[in-house]
Amino acid sequence: MNNKVVVLTGGGGVLGKTMALALAKKGAKLAILDLRKDAAEKVAEEINQQGGIAIGVSANVLKKESLLKARTEINSELGSCDILINGAGGNHPKGTTSNTHLLLEDLENKDNDFKTFFDLDSDGIQFVFNLNFIGTLLPTQVFAQDMVGKEGCCILNISSMNAFTPLTKIPAYSGAKAAISNFTQWLAVHFAKVGIRVNALAPGFFLTDQNRSLLTDSEGNPTQRGKTIIEHTPMGRYGEPEDLIGTTEWLCGEGSKFVTGIVVPIDGGFSAFSGV
Residue 14, interface with ligand NAD (CB under 6 A)?
A: yes
Would residue 238 show up in a list of annotated catalytic residues for this protein? no
Give min distance, CB of 107 to ligand NAD, in A.
31
CA atoms within 13 A on the CB side of 171: 17
Looking at the DSSP bridge assignments, the partners of residue 30 are 6, 54
Give min distance, CB of 224 to ligand NAD, in A.
18
Instruction: Name the amino acid, one letter, at 122.
Output: S
Q: Is residue 41 within 8 Å of residue 31, measured between CB atoms?
A: no
Closer residue to ligand NAD in complex, CB, 37/257: 37
Looking at the DSSP bridge assignments, the partners of residue 196 are 153
Closer residue to ligand NAD in complex, CB, 60/185: 60
Query: What is the SS3 assignment for 183?
Result: helix
Considering only CA atoms, which of 127, 133, 135 is closest in space to residue 9?
135
Q: Say how many C-beta atoms besides its own lie within 10 A of residue 198's C-beta.
A: 27
Residue 35, interface with ligand NAD (CB under 6 A)?
A: yes
Query: What is the SS3 assignment for 107?
Result: helix
Residue 268, interface with ligand NAD (CB under 6 A)?
A: no
Residue 61, interface with ligand NAD (CB under 6 A)?
A: yes
Residue 56, interface with ligand NAD (CB under 6 A)?
A: no
Residue 90, interface with ligand NAD (CB under 6 A)?
A: yes
The footprint of ligand NAD (CB under 6 A) covers 9-10, 12-16, 34-36, 39, 60-62, 87-90, 131, 135, 158, 160, 203, 205-206, 208-211
